[in-house]
Amino acid sequence: MFTHPYRYLFIVLLSAYAYINTVLCEVYRYFHIEVAWYHALLTVVLITWITWEGNRLIEKGVMKRFPPQEQRIAYLAVFFAGGIGVACIAATLVVYGMGALVYSYSFRQYEMPLKLNLIYAGLINLFFHLLNMILFFFREYRIKYTEAEELKRISTQAQLQAIKSQVNPHFLFNNLNVLSGMVIKDNPGANRFIEEFSKVYRYILKSQDKELVELEKELAFIKPYVYLLQQRYPDGLKVDIGIPEQYYDCYIIPVALQMLIENAIKHNVISSSSPLHIEVLANGGGILTVRNNRQPRRSVEQSNRIGLNNIAKRYELVCGRQIGIHKTQEVFEVQLPLLQLN
């Protein structure tokens, strides 16, 4: 607020309003203060201007020491306290300057003008900070509202992408082909395949309205998903999940692991001679890592990274955390923060 481009116009208008009120209330006559009208107006303008500009100058230091987004109460309280100091200094300087240079006041003559102007400076500083606080929380509300809308959009997009990745013709065609082969051969594994297939869809439907899910539930979903994939690539895909139970009560973004595993399968060669090895691990730093060996396909449909982008954006909106993406000639890995909810 204090850096607004029209601040000087606001200062002049506010000073004029304050001066008119003192005249209408006959403040100077009531307290027996003899002062020319233009000197009184100048005093009000100077105190208002110095208080405003002083607040503008100290605001940067306060923001640096108490970042508003992290310590909003401390920021507002310290800023207001600093503003009171600025207002008192402004009133004292202006009153003593005007009294010494224009009216040659004796020491006792400063008492009443100083009291009145200190009160005015304190009130004007309070008004400034109330207005600043209103604008501050309004901006906070707008930011949170925008983030909530963006999160809703991203979540919806991610849910649709997750469902699409499962329901797209290739996924259905491949899995139904596997199932057909099992049924034709009277393979007892067909029943399990159907059960695991249903678990995948059941989880997606249950989690589609959630921002976060427990890691234990996400892992319970990933196991049937991996089972389906391994029926398609019995000798070409190896998925190792090494998550200690101590992390099971942590939270992550829904369907994030599925997206990362699908991403690895999409971009790499999978065969019995060149198996794809995917690892899902957790370390002591509260990070979940999905890592795979790189063996890029020669031809792969163009990637728009929608899965990775959705995961990154949702983490940013939900908890303000960043995901890590690391790629070398041999390995590609994505690191997801494991969240603790109080």
Question: What is the tens place of the pLDDT at every residue in 227-284?
Answer: 889 888 888 999 999 999 999 999 998 888 988 998 899 889 998 888 999 999 997 7
Distance CA 199, CA 197 (A): 6
184 in a structural domain: yes
CATH number at residue 250: 3.30.565.10
Residues 138-150 have a mean pLDDT of 83
Q: Which of 147, 177, 204 is the last residue of a domain?
A: 147
What domain range includes position 16?
7-147
Query: Could you tell me the pLDDT band of residue 164, with boundaries at 50, 70 and 90?
Result: very low
Number of domains in the chain: 2
Residue with tokens 């100058």: 57
Residues 105-132 have a mean pLDDT of 82
Quick one: 38 and 135 in the same domain?
yes
Q: Which of 82, 112, 147 is the last residue of a domain?
A: 147
Q: Evaluate if residue 303 carries a pLDDT over 70.
A: no
237 in a structural domain: yes
Among 45-59, 112-126, 320-334, top mean pLDDT goes to 320-334
pLDDT value, residue 219 = 93
Taking alpha carbons only, the member of 43, 44, 61 closest to residue 2 is 61
pTM: 0.52
pLDDT mean across residues, the chain: 81
Quick one: 34 and 77 in the same domain?
yes
| β-strand pairing of 251-252 with 324-327 | unpaired
Quick one: 19 and 100 in the same domain?
yes
Contact 276, 264 (CB under 8 A): yes
Taking alpha carbons only, the member of 277, 272, 274 closest to residue 291 is 277
Q: What is the pLDDT of residues 269-286, one digit of tens each?
A: 998 888 999 999 997 788
Quick one: 205 and 240 in the same domain?
yes
